[in-house]
Protein backbone atom coordinates (compact mmCIF):
# COMPACT_ATOMS: atom_id res chain seq x y z
CA UNK A 1 0.00 0.00 0.00
CA UNK A 2 1.39 3.37 -1.04
CA UNK A 3 0.81 6.34 1.29
CA UNK A 4 1.24 10.03 0.45
CA UNK A 5 2.05 12.38 3.34
CA UNK A 6 1.27 16.04 2.71
CA UNK A 7 2.50 18.50 5.34
CA UNK A 8 4.74 21.56 5.17
CA UNK A 9 6.46 20.39 8.36
CA UNK A 10 9.13 17.77 7.76
CA UNK A 11 9.08 17.00 11.49
CA UNK A 12 5.41 16.04 11.30
CA UNK A 13 5.97 13.97 8.15
CA UNK A 14 8.80 12.13 9.93
CA UNK A 15 6.57 11.41 12.94
CA UNK A 16 3.78 10.17 10.66
CA UNK A 17 6.30 8.09 8.72
CA UNK A 18 7.59 6.45 11.86
CA UNK A 19 4.04 5.52 12.99
CA UNK A 20 3.26 4.12 9.53
CA UNK A 21 6.48 2.10 9.44
CA UNK A 22 5.67 0.66 12.86
CA UNK A 23 2.36 -0.44 11.33
CA UNK A 24 4.26 -2.14 8.51
CA UNK A 25 3.78 0.49 5.81
CA UNK A 26 7.06 1.26 4.08
CA UNK A 27 5.93 2.57 0.69
CA UNK A 28 5.66 6.25 1.57
CA UNK A 29 5.92 9.36 -0.61
CA UNK A 30 5.89 12.96 0.61
CA UNK A 31 4.86 16.45 -0.42
CA UNK A 32 5.31 19.74 1.41
CA UNK A 33 2.33 21.65 -0.02
CA UNK A 34 -0.89 21.12 -1.96
CA UNK A 35 0.58 21.80 -5.39
CA UNK A 36 3.41 19.33 -4.93
CA UNK A 37 0.89 16.86 -3.51
CA UNK A 38 -1.32 17.10 -6.58
CA UNK A 39 1.68 16.22 -8.77
CA UNK A 40 2.63 13.33 -6.48
CA UNK A 41 -0.97 12.11 -6.44
CA UNK A 42 -1.11 11.98 -10.27
CA UNK A 43 2.32 10.37 -10.55
CA UNK A 44 2.20 7.91 -7.66
CA UNK A 45 -1.52 6.94 -7.38
CA UNK A 46 -1.37 6.50 -3.59
CA UNK A 47 -3.80 4.26 -1.69
CA UNK A 48 -4.08 6.64 1.29
CA UNK A 49 -3.28 10.35 1.71
CA UNK A 50 -2.59 12.36 4.87
CA UNK A 51 -3.29 16.06 4.35
CA UNK A 52 -2.40 19.03 6.54
CA UNK A 53 -4.71 22.08 6.33
CA UNK A 54 -2.38 25.09 6.63
CA UNK A 55 0.26 24.94 3.94
CA UNK A 56 1.87 27.41 1.54
CA UNK A 57 1.02 27.52 -2.20
CA UNK A 58 -2.10 25.36 -1.93
CA UNK A 59 -3.81 24.58 1.37
CA UNK A 60 -5.16 21.19 2.39
CA UNK A 61 -8.86 21.88 1.95
CA UNK A 62 -8.29 23.03 -1.65
CA UNK A 63 -6.23 19.91 -2.27
CA UNK A 64 -9.03 17.70 -0.91
CA UNK A 65 -11.55 19.37 -3.24
CA UNK A 66 -9.24 19.02 -6.25
CA UNK A 67 -8.62 15.33 -5.56
CA UNK A 68 -12.33 14.66 -5.03
CA UNK A 69 -13.15 16.24 -8.39
CA UNK A 70 -11.32 13.37 -10.06
CA UNK A 71 -11.28 10.61 -7.44
CA UNK A 72 -14.06 9.77 -4.99
CA UNK A 73 -12.44 6.67 -3.53
CA UNK A 74 -8.87 7.18 -2.28
CA UNK A 75 -9.08 7.52 1.52
CA UNK A 76 -8.05 10.98 2.73
CA UNK A 77 -7.13 11.76 6.34
CA UNK A 78 -6.94 15.43 7.32
CA UNK A 79 -4.25 15.91 10.00
CA UNK A 80 -4.32 19.48 11.24
CA UNK A 81 -4.32 21.94 14.14
CA UNK A 82 -7.73 23.20 12.95
CA UNK A 83 -9.91 21.69 15.67
CA UNK A 84 -13.15 23.70 15.45
CA UNK A 85 -16.33 21.80 14.62
CA UNK A 86 -16.97 24.12 11.67
CA UNK A 87 -13.60 23.19 10.14
CA UNK A 88 -14.14 19.47 10.72
CA UNK A 89 -17.55 19.72 9.01
CA UNK A 90 -16.06 21.70 6.14
CA UNK A 91 -13.41 19.01 5.63
CA UNK A 92 -15.95 16.17 5.76
CA UNK A 93 -18.14 18.03 3.28
CA UNK A 94 -15.12 18.42 1.00
CA UNK A 95 -14.60 14.66 1.10
CA UNK A 96 -12.16 13.60 3.82
CA UNK A 97 -12.68 10.15 5.32
CA UNK A 98 -11.15 10.84 8.72
CA UNK A 99 -9.83 13.74 10.77
CA UNK A 100 -6.88 13.89 13.17
CA UNK A 101 -6.32 16.96 15.33
CA UNK A 102 -2.75 17.98 16.19
CA UNK A 103 -1.35 17.53 18.76
CA UNK A 104 -1.96 13.81 18.51
CA UNK A 105 -0.76 10.78 20.41
CA UNK A 106 0.95 8.32 18.08
CA UNK A 107 -1.48 5.60 19.27
CA UNK A 108 -4.51 7.61 18.13
CA UNK A 109 -2.87 8.29 14.78
CA UNK A 110 -2.30 4.56 14.32
CA UNK A 111 -5.91 3.88 15.30
CA UNK A 112 -7.27 6.38 12.73
CA UNK A 113 -5.14 4.85 9.97
CA UNK A 114 -6.39 1.33 10.75
CA UNK A 115 -9.98 2.58 11.07
CA UNK A 116 -9.84 4.45 7.75
CA UNK A 117 -8.30 1.58 5.82
CA UNK A 118 -10.79 -0.95 7.22
CA UNK A 119 -13.70 1.29 6.24
CA UNK A 120 -12.26 1.81 2.77
CA UNK A 121 -11.77 -1.94 2.34
CA UNK A 122 -15.35 -2.65 3.50
CA UNK A 123 -16.73 -0.05 1.07
CA UNK A 124 -14.70 -1.47 -1.81
CA UNK A 125 -15.87 -5.02 -1.04
CA UNK A 126 -19.51 -3.91 -0.76
CA UNK A 127 -19.22 -1.97 -4.01
Interacting residues toward other proteins by CB under 8 A = 8-12, 14-15, 18, 54-56, 80-84, 86, 101-105
Identify any residues that bridge with 50 across adjacent strands, giving them in sequence order: 5, 77
The smaller minimum CB distance to other proteins, of residues 22 and 45, is found at 22
Q: Which is nearer to other proteins, 74 or 82 (by Cβ)?
A: 82
Interior angle at CA 104, CA 98 and CA 108, nearest 5: 60
Asked if 4 contacts 46 with a C-beta cutoff of 8 angstroms, the reply is: yes
Closest approach of other proteins to the CB of residue 81, in Å: 2
Rounded to the nearest angstrom, the gap between the alpha carbon of residue 119 and the centroid of all alpha carbons in its chain is 15
User: What whole-number distance in Å separates Cα of residue 64 and Cα of residue 94?
Assistant: 6
Nearer to other proteins, 94 or 117 (CB): 94
Q: Any bridge partners for residue 40, and if so which?
A: none
44/90 with CB nearer other proteins: 90
For residue 57, which phi and psi values (nearest 5 degrees)? 70, -60
* Nearest-approach distance from CB 121 to other proteins, in angstroms: 29
Amino acid sequence: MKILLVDDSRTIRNIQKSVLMQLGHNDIVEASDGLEALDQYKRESPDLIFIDWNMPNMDGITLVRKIREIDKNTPLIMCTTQAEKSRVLEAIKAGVNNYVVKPFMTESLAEKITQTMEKAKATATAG
